[in-house]
Amino acid sequence: MNKKLISILLLIVLMLSGCSGAKDDLSLSYPFEVITSKDIIEAQIQLANDKVIELELYPEIAPVTVSNFIYLANEGFYDGLIFHRVISGFMIQGGCPNGIGTGGPNHRIKGEFKDNGVNNPLNHTRGVISMARTSNSYDSAGSQFFIMHRDYPSLDGQYAAFGRVTEGMDVVDEIASVMTDSNDKPLEDIVIKTIIIK
C-alpha cells in the first residue's frame, strides 16, 4: 500500500471512530468558563503505571478546547479511563468513558480549527495533543483527545490541536508500540490515573 493511501485510510479511521459520543440534541453551552488568558498552561497525564506525560496547553490558540480539557481534568473525568486507540506511526487516543471511542461528557464544544472558521496555526506534528470528533460534525468534540506519534499534516485544519508534549515522548512511544487488536485497542489496558493541571 502506498503512503498516500495509508494516510487517507488512517484519516478516515480517526474521523469514524474518534467520536465524542455527543448527540445532536446536546447544545454548545459549556459547563465551564472559557479562559481569556493567553498564558501557557502546564498539565500532566499520570498513568496507573506511574509514568508521566507532561503537556503545555495553548489557550491563545484554542481557548474553548483548553478550557474544556482543564474542566474535565479538574472534575476527575479522565481518572481511570484508558488509551483505547493506539496506532503506531500515527497517534494514541484516550478520554472515552466507554473505553471504545463512543462516549463523552454531556456537552460538546466548538471545533477550533480552520475548516470550522477558526484560525488555529498549531500543526499536527509529533507530540501535539488534539481533540477527536465525529466525522459528520465539526462541533462534536467532548472529552476524547489524541497525541500525535508522528507528524500528520493531513489533520491540520480539521482537528483542534491545543497543546504539545514537553516531556514524556518516550512514554508516548512506549504506548504506541504496544500490541493491539483489530480495532487498534491495546490488548492490555493503558490506564490514565489522573490528569493534573498545574
Q: List, for residues 83-114, the tens digit of each pLDDT value.
A: 999 999 999 999 999 999 999 999 999 999 99
Apex 188 CA angle, 184 and 190, nearest 5: 85
Instruction: Give the model confidence (pLDDT) of 40-76 as tens digits.
Output: 999 999 999 999 999 999 999 999 999 999 999 999 9
More confident: 8 or 63: 63
142's CB contacts (< 8 A; 6+ apart) are: 20, 21, 22, 104, 105, 107, 108, 109
Residues 135-164 have pLDDT tens digits of: 889 999 999 999 999 999 999 999 999 999
Has residue 13 got a pLDDT over 80? Answer: no
All structural domains of the chain, each given as residue ranges with its CATH number in brackets, are 3-197 (2.40.100.10)
How many angstroms separate the first and last alpha carbons of the chain?
A: 44
Whether pLDDT at 38 is above 80:
yes
pLDDT band at 2 (very low <50, low <70, confident <90, very high): low
